Amino acid sequence: MDLFPVRNAFNRASKKQKTWYGKTQEDIDKVLEVITNAIIELSIVPEEAPAGVHQKLVMEVLQARLKEIGAQSFTEAPLKEINNAMTKCGKLIDKCFNRNLGKVYRNVEFNHGLVNQLVALHFYRQGLFDVGDCFVAESHGESALSMRTQFWESHQILAQLQAGDLSGALAWAQEHHIALQQRKSSLEFRLQRLQFVQYLVEGKKALALEHARSSFGGFANNHMHEIQRLMGSLLWAGRLQMSPYVDILSNMDWDAIAFEFMHECCAMLGQSYNSPLFVTLCAGSQALPTLLKVAAVMGGKKHEWQSMAQLPMEIELEKGLQFHSIFACPVSRDQSTNENPPMLLPCGHVLCRQSIQKLAKAPTRTFKCPYCPSETTLSLCQQLHL
């Protein structure tokens, strides 16, 4: 989907708006100046002037000046030009985005309980516990409540991190020390390092030294160079900005620490960092343009579209949305499914079950592998689980 025409059209409309804004502002200032001068002249009435004559003269001059400036029409041209530009933007948006998405709808059976659970878990992951509780109560999806406590604790610690308090995160990391080591995570060291640097920035040299002695020993094997630099920075406590260790301050990235903390929390809970609901929507949005094209090509074959077991083409998704391998049978070229899974032959080659059944013709009949001289039977083939 090419959005550059839309972007360019909006840029042109924005440029016109800025140009006309400056000119219109100048005209408005002129109108205000003329009206202000007229008000001042109206307040000064010559003694010899007949009643009402002076006011009439001032108003005539005001009207002439406003007509000269074009006060009644100076906004018409810019408004018309800007409206035309915005109308063009709207047409480009309609052209780039297909608003009729109903034609790709397929009447697929959903496990509504599972969908409700995913929605509730998404709310809990985002820290929207009141919304999640309300949704669980109305959808009767109590199964999501089992994860509520863990996400609640994680968000409590996250709130402390966002407030500059490391105590909760450090306690959590120490509690999960072994699991973090097994994952080769550096979160605990990064938290200890951040606490050390925080003491240094505050000029608390003694606390920083005590913290280093009690915390850095267990990380010497993997982080010796960083620890040595941290210890050297003690000489510049309270004035790191003027030291050779000023780059240490760049490690005080609280947002990055908060992100890594939530990432590790989700891992400890056996969950991915992104919620399944978010991943599903991302994958669907990437697949939608291709699905729209296929639906347009199939046209009136609505029944075939609704009943097909698998799509007739491959959907390209970014790497972050690919979670398992996909197997295509080298004989039939069909993609494996639950009904037609990949089967491993004793010789090491893999075919789909339907291809093997066609080659064997009978459960006990010997057949030859199409890719090597080996022979086997259907009973000796093993199903692969991707």
Quick: pLDDT tens for 304-330.
777 776 677 778 888 888 777 778 888
Predicted confidence band of residue 140 (pLDDT cuts 50, 70, 90): confident
pLDDT of residue 245: 83
Predicted confidence band of residue 98 (pLDDT cuts 50, 70, 90): low
- CA pair distance 340, 354, nearest whole angstrom: 6
pLDDT of residue 93: 81
Look over the chain and give the mean of its residue pLDDT values, rounded to a whole number: 85
Find the helix packing angle between 129-139 and 112-125, rounded to 10°: 170
- CA pair distance 382, 352, nearest whole angstrom: 11
Q: Tokens 């809990």 map to which residue?
A: 124
Q: In the chain, which ranges are E strands?
A: 342-344, 350-352, 367-368, 375-376, 382-383
Q: Name residue 367's beta-bridge partners.
A: 376
> Across residues 21-27, what is the average pLDDT?
79
- CA pair distance 238, 205, nearest whole angstrom: 8
Q: Tokens 């689980």 map to which residue?
A: 385
pLDDT of residue 51: 60
216-230 per-position pLDDT tens digit: 988 988 899 999 988
Query: Of 70, 78, 96, which is closest to residue 15 (Cα–Cα)?
Result: 78
pTM of this structure: 0.62
pLDDT of residue 238: 74
pLDDT of residue 350: 93
pLDDT of residue 309: 66
Find the helix packing angle between 4-43 and 76-96, rounded to 10°: 160
Range scoring the smallest mean pLDDT among 200-214, 223-237, 243-257, 372-386 = 243-257
pLDDT of residue 74: 66
DSSP symbol at 328 = B
Cβ-proximal residues to 339 (8 Å cutoff; 6+ apart), any chain:
309
Predicted confidence band of residue 178 (pLDDT cuts 50, 70, 90): very high
75-94 per-position pLDDT tens digit: 777 778 888 888 888 888 87
By CB atoms closer than 10 A (0-12, 13-18, 19+), residue 186 is middle
Show the tokens assigned to 365. Answer: 């009949």
Predicted confidence band of residue 2 (pLDDT cuts 50, 70, 90): low
- CA pair distance 157, 52, nearest whole angstrom: 77
pLDDT of residue 15: 85
DSSP symbol at 335 = B
Proportion of the chain above pLDDT 90, given as a percent: 33
Question: Does the pLDDT at position 214 exceed 80?
Answer: yes
Find the helix packing angle between 167-175 and 254-268, rounded to 10°: 30
pLDDT of residue 332: 86
Range scoring the smallest mean pLDDT among 89-103, 106-120, 157-171 = 89-103
Predicted confidence band of residue 1 (pLDDT cuts 50, 70, 90): low
127: left (phi over 0), alpha (psi -120 to 50) or beta: left
pLDDT of residue 30: 84
pLDDT of residue 193: 92
Show the tokens assigned to 37. Answer: 């001068």
Predicted confidence band of residue 156 (pLDDT cuts 50, 70, 90): very high
258-281 per-position pLDDT tens digit: 999 999 999 998 888 889 999 989
Report helix, strand or coil for 3.
coil
Show the tokens assigned to 376. Answer: 């086997």
Proportion of the chain above pLDDT 70, given as a percent: 95
Cβ 353 vs Cβ 337: under 8 Å: no
Question: Does the pLDDT at position 127 exceed 60?
Answer: yes
Cβ 118 vs Cβ 276: under 8 Å: yes
Q: How far is CA 147 from CA 49, 119, 121, 141, 272, in A?
A: 88, 13, 8, 12, 13
- CA pair distance 170, 176, nearest whole angstrom: 10
Please provide the DSSP assignment of 5-36 as one string: HHHHHHHHHHHHHHHHHHHHHHHHHHHHHHHH
Question: Does the pLDDT at position 366 exceed 80?
Answer: yes
39-68 per-position pLDDT tens digit: 888 887 777 767 677 788 888 888 888 888
pLDDT of residue 99: 64
